[in-house]
Amino acid sequence: MPWSNQSGGGGWKSGGGGPWGQGPSGGQQQPDLEEILKRSQDKLKQVMPGSGLPGPLLALVAVAAIAVVSFFAFTVQVRPDEQAIVLRFGKFDRVKGPGLHFKWPYPVENVLLPKVTRQNSIEIGFRSIGARGFSQTPRDVLEESLMLTGDENIVDVDFVVFWRIKDAAQYLFNIQNPEITVKEVAESSMREVVGQSDIQPILTQARAKTEQAVQKLMQQILDQYKAGIDITQVQLQKVDPPSQVIEAFRDVQAARADQERLRNEALTYASKVVPEARGEAQRILQAAQGYKEQAIAEADGQAARFLKVYEEYKKAPDVTRKRLFLETMERVFGGMDKIILDGKGGGPGVVPYLPLDQLTKPKSDQGAK
């Protein structure tokens, strides 16, 4: 207990030079004092066997020693992260905050100094630092992390519980193993919460809800024990399906993506094909429109031409008719190969003997020009 270290200087009275050989307890004293004591001790050794002792010096040393011892025996120092729980004859008497406080020396009063501001954490389902202290990757503790869900699936849950001392007196006096208690309560609570849920929400959207539910349940149980512990946070780390089936779960994710992809591909197709069809429809309509206008325009033109010719024809029908015939025939015959058979000479009897094929072929090339 801390106080016994602090008042350790008291030992010198009984055991000659004993404490000074022990280093650490003496080292805490002020150097001046140590020097004085050392010198006086030497003198003590010198004069002990003999008779006369300088009375005033001895008295001075005794007073100084008693003062130092009393200071440590009657006070207690409390650091900023601590609280002093003072016990009088073993019975809880009072709580003191940081600073220097008075206390009665042993065996009347005894002081405990729990670290009340410290944030403690417990890892469940994994250990971030291995036993040797240098492994960086978290080690999975499967017997802690595998648990059953409400729909009879198994899920691998790693989480951290943060806690601190809420009531130092309760913490110290009401429960035997606070750390173990927190850990066991955490495991039990997590399994109870997970057991009431299906696997899918736990893996996805219900993380925050799970954390809160576990924190609430833990706090409730610990308060029932009057443990004086405040659960500040429950933090889910890795929440996965067991490693044996994780591939199947990943495939579901992939399938979801595939589903989206197929849909998107189809949408891409649709958004390509439909506008194209709309364009095609426009093309058909425009072509039809063009045909219509062309037909009308041509008809108008031809009709106009006919009417113009007709005007002329009406003035001199016979002449015009003959002229038109002859002009047309001139143009028709002008550009083509002709074979004229005089009916009176050879007559139609010659026709069957004409080599029509041979006449046609070589000249069709020439005719092209």
Site for other proteins in 203-242 (CB under 8 A): 221, 224-227, 241-242
Task: Please identify which residue in 48, 131, 208, 368 interacts with other proteins, judged by CB under 8 A.
Answer: 368
Q: Do the Cβ atoms of 79 and 14 come closer than 8 Å?
A: no
Task: Please identify which residue in 21, 49, 80, 334 interacts with other proteins, judged by CB under 8 A.
Answer: 334
Task: Please identify which residue in 101, 127, 164, 191 interacts with other proteins, judged by CB under 8 A.
Answer: 191
Task: Please identify which residue in 62, 67, 295, 316 interacts with other proteins, judged by CB under 8 A.
Answer: 295
Q: How far is the CB of 330 from other proteins (least distance, A)?
A: 9
Q: Does 201 bind other proteins (CB under 8 A)?
A: no
Q: How far is the CB of 172 from other proteins (least distance, A)?
A: 7
- Cα torsion at 251, 257, 260, 262 (round to 10°)? -70
Residues 150-179 that bind other proteins (CB under 8 A): 150, 152-154, 172-177
Q: How far is the CB of 159 from other proteins (least distance, A)?
A: 15
Task: Please identify which residue in 63, 67, 100, 281 interacts with other proteins, judged by CB under 8 A.
Answer: 281
Q: Do the Cβ atoms of 48 and 42 come closer than 8 Å?
A: no
Task: Please identify which residue in 1, 212, 258, 319 interacts with other proteins, judged by CB under 8 A.
Answer: 258
Structure tokens at 100: 């220097």
Residue nearer to other proteins on the CB measure, 36 or 160? 160
Q: Does 335 bind other proteins (CB under 8 A)?
A: yes
AA letter at 132: R
Name the residue with tokens 């002093």: 84
Q: Does 352 bind other proteins (CB under 8 A)?
A: no
Beta bridge pairs of residue 75:
102
Task: Please identify which residue in 184, 209, 212, 316 interacts with other proteins, judged by CB under 8 A.
Answer: 184
Structure tokens at 106: 């042993």
Q: How far is the CB of 245 from other proteins (least distance, A)?
A: 5
Q: Do the Cβ atoms of 159 and 222 come closer than 8 Å?
A: no
Task: Please identify which residue in 68, 157, 185, 239 interacts with other proteins, judged by CB under 8 A.
Answer: 185
Q: How far is the CB of 96 from other proteins (least distance, A)?
A: 16
On the CB side of 215, CA atoms within 13 Å amount to: 18
Q: Does 1 bind other proteins (CB under 8 A)?
A: no
Spatial separation of the C-alpha atoms in residues 97 and 95, rounded to whole Å? 7
Beta bridge pairs of residue 240:
156
Residues 70-129 that bind other proteins (CB under 8 A): 87-92, 107
Spatial separation of the C-alpha atoms in residues 107 and 88, rounded to whole Å? 8
Task: Please identify which residue in 187, 206, 215, 234 interacts with other proteins, judged by CB under 8 A.
Answer: 187
Residues 6-65 that bind other proteins (CB under 8 A): none
Task: Please identify which residue in 67, 129, 316, 351 interacts with other proteins, judged by CB under 8 A.
Answer: 351
Q: 94 φ, ψ to 5°? A: -160, 165
Q: How far is the CB of 120 from other proteins (least distance, A)?
A: 17
Name the residue with tokens 């058979």: 341
Q: Do the Cβ atoms of 29 and 9 come closer than 8 Å?
A: yes
Spatial separation of the C-alpha atoms in residues 193 and 60, rounded to whole Å? 70
Task: Please identify which residue in 53, 195, 238, 316 interacts with other proteins, judged by CB under 8 A.
Answer: 195
Spatial separation of the C-alpha atoms in residues 156 and 147, rounded to whole Å? 6
Q: Does 316 bind other proteins (CB under 8 A)?
A: no
Number of residues this chain uses to bind other proteins (CB under 8 A): 120
Distance of CA 178 to the CA centre of its chain: 33
Residue nearer to other proteins on the CB measure, 162 or 249? 249
Any residues with CB less than 8 A from the CB of 124 and at least 6 apart, and which? Answer: 141, 144, 145, 158, 159, 160, 161, 183, 186, 187, 190
